[in-house]
Structure 1
């Protein structure tokens, strides 16, 4: 099953917004980040607006160019108690794998 890019906007848009936020905080233009990362300004623009699905290796280049950890693009740490426990606690039946 192939998901359309539209179905991924809820994932792509926040990552793109985080990249833009980091770029602006670093006082860099798209063109400057393009030169630093080796990724075209057009591609960076599409990534920042959530219109392009980006590879992890590309995100790593962007993070290095902005001098931030890759995790800076993925929100904060998980809430305490939010995603802990066994698979059964989260509604997954993993019993055949035990």
Structure 2
């Protein structure tokens, strides 16, 4: 018991405890903030991976469209409903079942 009292009265121990408490709870970079920053970083890395894959897909499509006229025509017909002068286009919309 005497040893514990001597430890609590030690100024170096008190300063160290105060420093640890300050850094854990009160500092701008406390543990809670660090956890939030880590969560944000994980989310941003996932978004980065998603956008990199989407960019790769778009670049692949662009390469295909610029190199092949048949694919360009197919893309224009499917995405933008373009047609030739002597054609009619019918768009079929399926109703959702309730």
TM-score category (smaller protein): under 0.3
Higher helix share: 2
TM-score normalised by structure 1 residue count: 0.27
**Rg larger for:** 2
TM-score normalised by structure 2 residue count: 0.27
